[in-house]
Amino acid sequence: MTKKPWISLSGIGVFAVLLLAVAPLVLSDHWLNNLGKYCCWAIAAVGIGLAWGRGGMLVMGQGVFFALGAYSMAMHLTLETAGDRVPGFMVLYDPLAPLPMFWEPFRSTGFTLLAIVLLPVVVAGALGYALFKRRVKGAYFAILTQALAVALATLISSTIRETGGDTGLSDFKYFFGFVLNDPANRLMVYLIAATLLIVCLLAVWQFYRSRFGELLVATRDAEERVRFLGYDPANVKLVAFVVSALMASIGGAMFVPIVGIITPAEIGAAASILMIAGVALGGRASLFGPALGAMAVGWGQSSLGSTWPDGWTYILGLLFVVVILFLPNGLSSLPARLMRRQRPGPVEPPAPAIAPAELEEVKS
Amino acid sequence: MDALIAPLLNGSAQGALLLLAALGLSLTFGQMGVINMAHGEFLMIGAFAAYLVQQVITASDLSIPVALPVAFVVAGLFGLLLEVTIIRWMYRRPLDTLLVTVGVGLILQQAALQIFPSQGVPVEKPGWLDGQMNILGYNWPLRQLFTILLAGVCVAALSAWLKYTSFGRRIRATVHNRDLAETSGISTRTIDRLTFFVGSGLAGVAGVAASLIGGTNSQMGAQYIIPAFLVVAAGGIGQLKGTIVAAWAVGLALAFFAYWTTGSLAQVLAFILVIVFLQVRPQGLFTVRTRSLA
């Protein structure tokens, strides 16, 4: 999309320096930890930007994939903390409760890391294949993904003996052998999360420049034309959806050691919508918009959300209404808009992010 | 026999409630392609309207029949307000409308949380709904029968209105082919507003029914919107019969799954069932045939 790729690339570079070098020097441990949490949401948001901003698939259930990564990681850390014994919350109700079958493989570090990567790929692949090949799209796709997030959160809430239920999984002491209480190790966990965010940004930067990126945008704007040109839009969408699911899973996996707890509330409908909010605010189709927007919303959620919860909900609601109504391409489109207003004359046509093709969906 | 009759009757009542919630949604979605995520909150508004009516008319025998039309009008006016202020600007972006109405829903929920007690308010059931009816050895609560009757009345009224009145004809024409309807001299803007009023009003009626069965609180709308949309999706848009059959089927599925397993697992299974069903029939049970590509 961008004509000068090095501008975006140097932007990522500046971002990397800020996150990896400046932030650890300037911020206190507490705020660094918070920043790490925002990085995790930002990783998921970069994926949403890919699927929704570029691919036109409104993924309202990224909490599902966030959960796959988060719970894989949390189960491993819980087992690591418990050692040879059965985790504490399981024996709360029945002192002789055995470890559920599906927990057993998560003792292995390799399996856990593999699960964080493969589980979302398999689940999103199967779901996406089923839906896209049947040409399920638009609002149907959005609500179905949201329904899955609701279903998974309900399922986890109700299986208190196997997954910890509403109280979730917490009290992790070790992170792959490192003591989590140690500030040095916490810094390391933060750096891993920040690095992963940079890697994800680089990945989508390359995606957007590639032929695949062009095809994805084409599919978003005129799916039928892409089909008539001989491509299968389902495959294009599938790849974007799977990659976005993978990013959500990675974000979830890093969320667990940084925040120290994972509950169904972090993955359900409300949490999934919160992830969307950041992407919408920052600018769904831009490179940095989703990540920065998610960080801003994350900051609002953890600061305003706890000190002024009533007001925060209003702000969040208004954010959806105002941003999407007046600034569908988010804050990232604001500079270009202002510039255009100041310099009337021969201007480039506005980016067709909201394609006329979407009109066709009305009739479907 | 009891193992079959109890979930059958409970499921039918649950399906009727889902039908009430989905009826308005299918009307607005079918016509405008707009998913109104604040529909659940309109349902909540209807339930709170029933509570407020009860504060004025204390005799609960009388207050519920009064509350039904009041809830219809109040929720309908909220819907009209939403259409006039926000949705009218967004008909070209249906997917974005979904997100905007999510925001509206959040605001309405929070407002309800602050206006009313956070634990919810009690809506008194009228005396004539207290009893039970013995059906083949199962004591069926009368209020479930009331929900089914109410859903039946609403469906009958709506379909008669759509079929025999001139407004109904114009709505159907707009659903089938918006451009042609407009060319034929129908003011689709007026029709859109009217549809939104009626659709939202039906959510209000559903809210009164829901307040008699479950609690009335600021969160109640959120739990109906996803199942209601799944019903609309499974039923197919543009026709009432699909919504009716799908609502009943989902209600029965929920009740039977809950009977065999647990309530929360039943929800998960019902969701999966609908998704699998959409694999077989992505357009839903019944559809209006069009030649559009999308």
Average pLDDT, chain B: 86
User: Which residues in chain A have Cβ-Cβ distances shorter than 8 Å to B31?
Assistant: none
Domain spans of chain A?
5-267
**Residue B30: per-residue pLDDT:** 79
* Chain-chain contact of B107 with A313 (C-beta, under 8 angstroms): yes
| Contact call for B262 and A314, based on CB within 8 A | no
Q: Looking at per-residue confidence, does A307 or B286 come out higher? A: A307
B142 in contact with A, Cβ within 8 Å: no
Is pLDDT above 50 for A346? no
Contacts 24+ apart (CB under 8 A), A121-125: A121/A242, A121/A245, A121/A246, A123/A64, A123/A65, A123/A68, A123/A245, A124/A65, A124/A241, A124/A242, A124/A244, A124/A245, A124/A246, A125/A238, A125/A242
* pLDDT one-digit tens code per residue, A166-201: 888 988 888 888 888 888 899 999 999 999 999 999
More confident residue, B139 or A120: A120
Average pLDDT over residues B240-262: 89
Interchain proximity A155–B106, CB inside 8 Å = no
Sequence-separated contacts (24+) of A98-106 with Cβ below 8 Å: A100/A161, A100/A162, A102/A162, A103/A75, A103/A79, A103/A162, A106/A72, A106/A75, A106/A76, A106/A79
How far is residue A42 from each of residues A324, A360, B201, measured CA to CA in Å?
Answer: 19, 32, 40
Q: Report which secondary-structure segment, H or E, holds A145.
A: helix A138-158
Contact A147 B226 (CB under 8 A): yes
**Residues 278-307 of chain A whose Cβ lies under 8 A from any Cβ of chain B:** 280
Distance from CA of A48 to the nearest CA of B (A): 14
Q: How far is B249 from chain A (nearest CA, A)?
A: 17
How far is the C-alpha of B47 from the C-alpha of A64, rounded, in Å? 31
Minimal C-alpha gap between B279 and chain A (Å): 7
Cβ distance of A314 and B90 shorter than 8 Å: no
In the structure, what pLDDT confidence band is assigned to residue B239 with cuts at 50, 70 and 90? confident
Domain residues for B127? 2-221
Nearest to A52 by CA among A240, A327, A218: A240
- Name every residue whose Cβ is closer than 8 Å to that of residue B202 and which is 6 or more positions away in sequence: B20, B23, B24, B27, B72, B154, B158
Q: Collapse the DSSP code of A160 into the 3-class scheme (helix H, G, I; strand E, B; otherwise coil) and give the result.
A: helix
Q: What is the mean pLDDT of residues A330-351?
A: 67
Are the beta carbons of B117 and A337 closer than 8 angstroms?
Answer: no
Q: Scan residues 12-31 of B and list those with Cβ closer than 8 Å to A.
A: 29
Please state whether beta strands B132-135 and B138-141 pair in parallel, antiparallel, or not at all (unpaired).
antiparallel
Complex ipTM over 0.90: no
The CA-atom distances, in angstroms, between A45 and each of A66, A75, A86, A259, A347 are: 11, 24, 35, 18, 31
In the predicted model, is pLDDT for residue A363 greater than 50? no
Crossing angle between the packed helical segments A269-282 and A138-158, to the nearest 10 degrees: 140
Predicted confidence (pLDDT) per residue in B134-190, tens digit: 777 777 888 888 899 999 999 999 999 988 999 889 988 888 888 888 899 888 889
Is the pLDDT score of A57 beyond 60? yes
Which member of B93, B100, B271 has the closest CB to residue A354?
Answer: B93
| Number of domains forming the structure of chain B | 1
- Residue B21: pLDDT band (50, 70, 90) is very high
Query: From CA A73, how far away is CA A253, in angstroms rounded?
Result: 5
Q: How far is B267 from chain A (nearest CA, A)?
A: 7
The interface residues of chain B toward chain A in range 61-90, judged by CB-CB distance below 8 A, are 86, 89-90
Compute chain B's Rg from CA coordinates: 19
Distance CA A154, CA B100 (A): 25
Min distance A142 CA to chain B CA atoms (Å): 8
**Over 80: is that where the pLDDT of B283 sits?**
no
Out of A128-137, A211-220, A352-361, least confident range: A352-361
CB pairs under 8 A between A and B: 143
Q: Is residue B259 part of a domain?
A: no
Mean pLDDT of chain A: 87
Average pLDDT score over residue span B28-32: 81
What average pLDDT does this structure show over B92-105?
Answer: 88
Q: A268: how many CB neighbours lie within 10 A of its CB?
A: 23
Sequence-distant (6+) residues with CB within 8 A of A354 are A328, B92, B93, B96
Query: According to the model, what pLDDT value does residue B100 have?
Result: 92
CA B153/CA B159 separation, integer angstroms: 10
* Selection from B203, B204, B154 nearest residue B49 by Cα: B204
Any A CB within 8 A of B95 CB: yes
Share of chain A above pLDDT 70, in %: 92
What is the per-residue pLDDT across A4-47, written as a single tens digit (0 to 9) for each? 678 888 989 999 999 998 988 888 888 999 999 999 999 999 99
Determine which of A52-66, A96-110, A184-198 has the lowest per-residue pLDDT on average. A96-110
pLDDT in tens, A314-339: 999 999 999 988 888 888 888 888 88
Percent with pLDDT over 90 in chain B: 35
pLDDT of A361 reads: 41
The pLDDT score that the predictor gives to residue A354 is: 45
Does B288 lie at the interface with A, CB-CB under 8 angstroms?
no
DSSP labels, B29-92: HHHH----TTHHHHHHHHHHHHHHHHHHS--HHHHHHHHHHHHHHHHHHHHHHHHHHTGGGGTT
- Interface membership of B33 toward A (CB under 8 Å): yes
Instruction: List chain B residues with CB under 8 Å of A139.
Output: 29, 33, 35, 94-95, 98
The answer to whether A142 contacts B95, with C-beta atoms less than 8 Å apart, is yes
pLDDT band, residue A343 (cuts 50/70/90): low
Asked if B231 and B250 count as a contact pair (C-beta separation under 8 A), the reply is yes
Residue by residue, DSSP assigns A78-101 as HHHHHTTSPPGGGTTT-TTPPPPG
Strands (E), B92-215: 132-135, 138-141
- List pLDDT tens digits, range A124-164: 999 999 888 888 878 888 888 998 898 899 889 888 888 88
Question: Which tokens go with B135?
Answer: 């059906």
Those residues with Cβ within 8 angstroms of residue A239's Cβ, 6 or more apart along the chain or in another chain:
A212
Report if residue B282 sits inside a domain: no
Residue B220's nearest CA partner among B228, B210, B212 is: B210
Query: What distance, in Å, lies between the first and last C-alpha atoms of chain B?
Result: 47
What length does chain A have?
364
Partnered with residue A179 across adjacent β-strands are: A174
pLDDT at A348 (0 to 100) = 45
CA distance B86 to chain A (A): 8
Strands (DSSP E) found in chain A: 169-170, 174-175, 178-179, 261-262
- B96 interfaces chain A, CB cutoff of 8 Å: yes
